[in-house]
Amino acid sequence: MKKTIRIRQKTLPTDNKSFDEQLALYREPRDWESLESSDRERLALLFISQGDRLVTEHRSDANTSYEKALAVSPTAAIFLLVGQAYAEQANDPTCLALAHDKLAMAIKLDSNNAEAWHCDGAVLVMLGMHYQELGYLKEGERCLSQAISLHEQQGAAIPSALLGDAGDCWHAMGRQSGEAYDFWKAVELYRKALKDEASNAGLWSRYGQSVESLARLVGKEELLREAIDSYCQTLALDPHNLETHIHLAGLYLRLYNDTNDATAMHNAEQAFKTIINLEPKQVEGWLGLAILLTRRGERQRDINALKESVEKYQQADACEPNAAVILNGWGEALTILGAVTENLHLLREGSSKILKALEIEPDNSIIWRTYATCLTEMGGYFNDESHYLEALDKVKIGLRHDEFNPSLWAVLARIYCSLGNLRGDIALLEEACKYYAKAAELYQSEEPHLFNEWGICLMRLTEATHERRYIEEAVNKFERAITINEENDNIGTDMEWFYNYGCALDFLGDFTDSPEHYEKAIKILTHVVSADPSFRHGRYNLAMAWAHLAELTAEVEFFLKAIEHFETLVQEDNEDEVTWNELGITLINLSQLLRDPTHPERSHDCLLQAEQRLQQAIALGNIQAFYSMACLYSLLKNYELAMHFLEKADHADALPALDDLLHDEWLEGLRHTSAFRQFLQHLKGH
């Protein structure tokens, strides 16, 4: 702490020998008895000056000089100066304690001395920070508040140094209490101090740290941006301040994680590179860059970014070997890269890094979450529930360490969803939805990725239960995920989310028989295909949505739209057996719509085209096409071939439910044959 008041005699000799000679005349108390008060004060100042010089020489007898000064002239002014002298030795808690004693005496002798209150408050803050003791900080805040009040009572301007020290006090209390109010008070005081100290880089930096801490507690994006602005102000005044560069880079990374803002991503990358340029061995630079590249690679499915992140983790590990945070992040990056590329070697390498991190920090819930995620990806790779069950054990360990970590609940939900889907277990899927809800409740801000996953789980529940309420919830979750992103103009929504949303709307249309859901699905999926014409799943489901709308509205044009997209898919991939089958079914549907006694050739031609498509599907091994072909030949009144394919569908376990079989309009002619009646008896016998 810098002393703001120093009483110095202008006539003090500058020659050390002459200086020491003067003091040699007054070594003992008896030598002071004849001195007037003004001379005593002058002598006390000489002893203080001697003590200051001895401190600079690292002499252990400096304190003796300070104590002699007090013995010569035990006034408020001298107690203040001695207290300030001790306070300058801030690295020594013993000196800070002595400073507090002397400053408290100065206040006792003159309770209206704002400077003494200010200095004592600052010393108490330093003691509180050294001992991590909240009591010191609270007492320091009382002293600093009193100093501010005295300035106000005296009609004097409050020094910016006092406001800054008061801000430091509230910031330190906030770090110990974790209370947003404490940081808010610090921010308020720093703002006032900066009005007169706009060129103070250190003050801007401390202000930024308080705003950053407040932002992390309340989760407000505007506060993150305010902290960024303050760090930029700091660096404008002090461009080589490494600590501030680290804070700034971390905030840009946080902003990118929270908002997916492309500008924040770019700024974070530049900030971390600046850190590395300033200090090539600075681990925060390599680690931050690695984390940024991991997030970018994960969100954008950018394999090159993921590979680069692995390289950056290697650099970070070289700077600080065997750090748990580095090993955990490294393992996460390898896991994501392994999942994207379906590379088992990378998944196993990621697992080994994570296990090494757990050996170092076995109580770290984040590492247990990463390990559970890695095992979940292995479960998906092998389609094996043993990995999911092991992942379940690991995430539960993480929750025992931190039951309020939302990302752990999100991973738990993902595991239950995967297990439920693998087993076809409705109860597990319902349990997964409960955990998604728990994660959403714990996150400080709405997480669009979570809502997207939640929607997928609800779609699987719909498939398992055929309950409309689940698909309605799924549509709601996808809409929420997309809306969260669209509320920020800088965020681009993942096309897969739009794809999921379009599929859910198409699914909902099956329940409502309402053209509006199919129409909306077509609009969304058209957007997806326009953005990425090579996205086959998007085009396939767009074709299905057109086909469903066509069946509902009996519009030839809509069937032709569906056929157009199906034809594009099989032209691109001649071995797509599923699309060949759906194309055949769509042509059968169109043939029934085109039935006209005056022009029977149009309908018959569609059936012949359907026959060719279904033959291709069967040749490629599509067992569902057996039933489609049976329907086709029933419509063509070739009942012998219709029964042939119906029996093949039965042998392949590809028949629909018996009730559907008895009411399918396309089988109406076949049902009147004796062969079908015998076949029906055969089915009922089973």
Query: For 7-35, what is the mean pLDDT?
Result: 58
- Neighbouring residues of 386: CB distance < 8 A, sequence distance ≥ 6: 379
Going by pLDDT thresholds of 50, 70 and 90, the confidence category of residue 686 is low
pLDDT of residue 17 exceeding 80, the answer is no
Residues 52 and 35 sit within 8 Å (Cβ to Cβ)? no
Contact 41, 12 (CB under 8 A): no
Q: Which residue has the higher pLDDT, 425 or 300?
A: 425
What pLDDT, on the 0 to 100 scale, is given for residue 19? 62
pLDDT at 64 over 70: yes
- Which residues in 310-344 are b (16+ Cβ under 10 Å) and which e? bebbebbbebeeebbbbbbbbbbbbbbbbbbeeee
Is residue 649 within 8 A of residue 658, CB to CB? The reply is no
Q: What is the mean pLDDT of residues 63-86?
A: 93
Tell me how far apart the alpha carbons of residues 614 and 620 are, in angstroms, rounded to a whole number: 10
Instruction: Supply 7's token pair.
Output: 């009483």
Is pLDDT of 308 > 50? yes
- For the chain, the C-alpha Rg in angstroms (whole number) is 38
Nearest CA-CA partner of 114 in 90, 89, 138, 80 = 80
Residue pointed to by tokens 């950018």: 302
pLDDT digits (tens, 9 = 90+) for 255-300: 888 877 889 999 999 999 999 999 999 999 999 999 999 999 988 8
Residue 61 has pLDDT above 90, yes or no: no
Distance (Å, whole) CA 371 – CA 367:
6
- pLDDT at residue 5 greater than cutoff 50: no
Q: Which of 2-11, 166-175, 378-387 has the lowest mean pLDDT?
A: 2-11
CA nearest to 334, candidates 377, 273, 281: 377
What pLDDT score was predicted for residue 301? Answer: 82
Measuring CA to CA, which residue among 125, 134, 137 is closest to residue 161?
125
* CA dihedral angle for residue 679, residue 684, residue 685, residue 686, rounded to 10 degrees: 100
**What confidence category does residue 7 fall into, taking pLDDT thresholds of 50, 70 and 90?**
very low
Q: How far apart are CA 2 and CA 41, in angstroms?
A: 22
Question: DSSP label at 112?
Answer: T
Q: How many beta carbons lie within 10 A of that of residue 263, not counting itself? A: 12
- C-alpha angle 49-50-55 in degrees, rounded to nearest 5: 95
pLDDT in tens, 183-207: 999 999 999 999 999 999 999 999 9
Domains of the chain with CATH codes: 1-156 (1.25.40.10), 240-362 (1.25.40.10), 574-685 (1.25.40)
Taking the C-alpha atoms of residue 164 and residue 181, their distance in angstroms, rounded to an integer, is 17
DSSP category for residue 14: S
**pLDDT value, residue 96:** 95
Tell me: the pLDDT tens digits for 97-140? 999 999 999 999 999 999 999 999 999 999 999 999 999 999 99
Neighbour tally for 92: CB within 10 Å: 12
The C-alpha atoms of residue 221 and residue 263 are separated, in whole angstroms, by 14
CB 296 within 8 A of CB 272: no
Range 299-324 average pLDDT: 94
The amino acid at residue 342 is: E
CB 581 within 8 A of CB 617: yes
Place of tokens 């091994």: 621
Question: Which of 214-223, 318-327, 481-490, 649-658 has the lowest average pLDDT?
Answer: 481-490
- Rounded to an integer, what distance in angstroms lies between the CA atom of residue 339 and that of residue 306? 11
Q: How far apart are CA 480 and CA 599, in angstroms?
A: 50
Integer CA distances (angstroms), 659 to 412, 602, 642, 681, in order = 39, 31, 18, 14
Q: Would you give the DSSP letter of residue 281? A: T
Tell whether the model's pLDDT for residue 4 goes beyond 70: no
Q: How do residues 666-680 score in pLDDT, each as one tens digit?
A: 999 999 999 999 999
Q: Is the pLDDT of residue 599 over 80?
A: no
Ranking 4-18, 57-71, 154-168, 553-567 by mean pLDDT, the lowest is: 4-18
Provide the 3-class DSSP secondary structure of residue 92. Answer: coil
Whether 153 contacts 117, CB under 8 Å: no
* Predicted local distance difference test score (pLDDT) of residue 247: 95
Report field, pTM of the whole predicted structure over 0.85: no
User: Which ranges constitute the DSSP H helices of 283-323?
Assistant: 283-300, 303-319
CA quadruple 429, 433, 439, 444: dihedral positive or negative? positive
Question: Alpha-carbon distance 210 to 204, whole Å?
Answer: 10
Give yes or no for a contact between 521 and 509, defined as CB atoms under 8 angstroms apart: yes
CA 197, 199, 202 angle in degrees (round to 5)? 85
> What does the mean pLDDT of the chain come to?
92
> Hey, is 133 helix, strand or coil?
coil
Got the DSSP string for 195-246?
Answer: TT-TT-HHHHHHHHHHHHHHHHHHT-HHHHHHHHHHHHHHHHH-TT-HHHHH
Q: Give me 191's structure tokens.
A: 């703002």
On whether the CB atoms of residues 47 and 65 are closer than 8 A, the answer is yes
Kindly give, in sequence order, each residue whose CB lies less than 8 Å from that of residue 234, ignoring residues fewer than 6 positions away: 201, 202, 204, 205, 208, 241, 244
Whole-Å CA distances, 95 to 84, 92, 431, 505, 682 = 10, 5, 60, 72, 99
What is the distance, to the nearest Å, from the Cα of residue 304 to the centroid of all Cα atoms in its chain? 21
Has residue 542 got a pLDDT over 50?
A: yes
Query: What tens digit of pLDDT does each residue of 363-398 get?
Result: 999 999 999 999 999 999 999 999 999 999 999 999
**What pLDDT, on a 0 to 100 scale, did the predictor assign at position 90?**
85
> Measured between alpha carbons, how far is 556 from 561 in angstroms, rounded to an integer?
9
Q: What is the pLDDT of residues 427-459, one digit of tens each?
A: 999 999 999 999 999 987 788 889 999 999 999
